[in-house]
């Protein structure tokens, strides 16, 4: 294995998305390094789905004083079953997409909302997945329910397309320049319905397009209802 993790990263902040909890965590890399050294945290080994050792790192309690946390709803991350069906590569892509969307929704307002996904290969090699302003950040997605975060230090021989049954599913990596939806361009996740940053009701279709058709809306009862663009209005609603 080779050093590739917390002591080599070019990022200043690491995010850990735990979709099975569900929650999003973040910390300053410098704080984590100091915590590991000061507390002499033991090295642990991570295994691939075939049982082989493919990483080493440290188990850091989520209660460590330098770690920040926000609980999430299932609407934000999806069901546990939907995550267990993914390869590690698919998990990473999906986790990064969700994390970026949440950051743009000010889930951690102290960090800012100007989020840019890196398009540079050199950044990816250095662990710089995104930039919040000028601050480089790395995103980890872990499909576990644990009291700890796994902070990687080394890796080697990882097979990101492996499934639990031993077969592989090769997924084409989408380009970083893929066009954003209406919702994403305005800093919201696809399907967002609620009061926006300016206090007005905002509604997007699950596809991310602006939604002009609302059903079961009861604003006086704080029921925002279900919203769709013209293309995706459900058949049952069209027949009413």
pLDDT value for 49: 60
**Which range among 24-33, 85-94, 166-175, 222-231 shows the weakest confidence by mean pLDDT?**
166-175
Helix H or strand E segment including 101:
helix 88-104
Beta bridge partners, 57, equal 44, 152
> Which residue has better confidence, 11 or 230?
11
**Which range among 8-12, 69-73, 116-120, 178-182 shows the weakest confidence by mean pLDDT?**
178-182
pLDDT of residue 161 exceeding 50, the answer is no
pTM summary value: 0.67
pLDDT tens-digit profile of 41-69? 999 987 766 667 788 999 999 999 999 99
Contact 168, 50 (CB under 8 A): no
């Amino acid at each position: 294995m080779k050093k590739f993790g917390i002591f080599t990263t070019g990022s200043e902040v690491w995010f850990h998305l735990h979709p099975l909890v569900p929650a999003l965590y973040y910390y300053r890399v410098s704080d984590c390094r100091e915590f590991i050294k000061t507390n002499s945290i033991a090295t642990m080994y991570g295994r691939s789905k075939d049982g082989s050792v493919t990483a080493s790192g440290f188990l850091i309690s989520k209660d460590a004083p330098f770690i920040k946390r926000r609980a999430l709803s299932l609407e934000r991350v999806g069901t546990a079953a939907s995550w267990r069906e993914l390869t590690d590569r698919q998990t990473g892509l999906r986790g990064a997409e969700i994390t970026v969307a949440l950051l743009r929704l000010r889930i951690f307002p102290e960090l800012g909302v100007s989020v840019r996904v890196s398009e540079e290969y050199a950044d990816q090699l250095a662990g710089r997945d995104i930039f919040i302003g000028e601050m480089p950040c790395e995103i980890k997605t872990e499909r576990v329910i644990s009291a700890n975060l796994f902070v990687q230090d080394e890796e080697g021989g990882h097979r990101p397309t492996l499934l639990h049954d031993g077969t592989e599913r090769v997924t084409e990596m989408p380009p970083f320049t893929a066009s954003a939806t209406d919702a994403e361009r305005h800093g919201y996740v696809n399907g967002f319905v609620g009061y926006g940053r300016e206090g007005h009701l905002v509604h997007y279709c699950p596809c991310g397009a602006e939604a002009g058709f609302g059903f079961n809306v009861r604003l006086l009862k704080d029921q925002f209802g279900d919203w769709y663009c013209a293309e995706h209005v459900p058949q049952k609603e069209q027949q009413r």
